[in-house]
Amino acid sequence: MDATIKELIEHFKLQPLPVEGTLFASTYRSAESLPNGKPFGTGMIGMYCHEPRSVSYFHKLTIDEMWHFYGGDPLRLILLYPDGSSRDVIMGSDPLKGQNVQFVIPAGVWQAGNCVEGGRYSLFGCTLAPGFTGDIFTGGTQSELLKSYPDREKDILRLGLPGGETMMPEGFAS
């Protein structure tokens, strides 16, 4: 394993996120809650890398998610919209070359991500308000996504869930 990646994993105490696959650490959970008991907001740090393998498998949330790029190599987000369209977003530290340092993924959009080809690692964060709870997450299976997005077959076969569990474990909150 690359020494920098190992140090970052240890420094942030990164662990695999259930179902989705990203190495992550919860860094903020509001002390106050909404009337339904959910947190006002949450924040996390994540890292994509090739070894150990850390990617974000296709999933969607029921609320908007704000992404922030922190360091390393650019990352690629693959977005599949409810209307059948799709797009790639590159996040990185060079906004003058079209890289995003922040990006909002709207609720209901299938998303997946990985470090760009040839990159070592990508360090990023995500902020949600209201905050993340496991019940806002749905993982996307290859078979389900291929029906609506056949033109993204290569990405779906690589980053779609092969089957099995598509929901966060009961009571999981990052």
Q: Could you give the dihedral angle defined by the CA atoms of residues 98, 49, 129 and 70, in that order, rounded to the nearest 10 degrees?
A: -50
Alpha-carbon distance 5 to 104, whole Å?
Answer: 26
Cβ atoms 97, 31 nearer than 8 A:
no
pTM of the model: 0.95
Domains of the chain (ranges; CATH) run 3-159 (2.60.120.10)
**pLDDT digits 0-9 by tens, 3-24:** 999 999 999 999 999 999 999 9
**pLDDT digits 0-9 by tens, 45-97:** 999 999 999 999 999 999 999 999 999 999 999 999 999 999 999 999 999 99
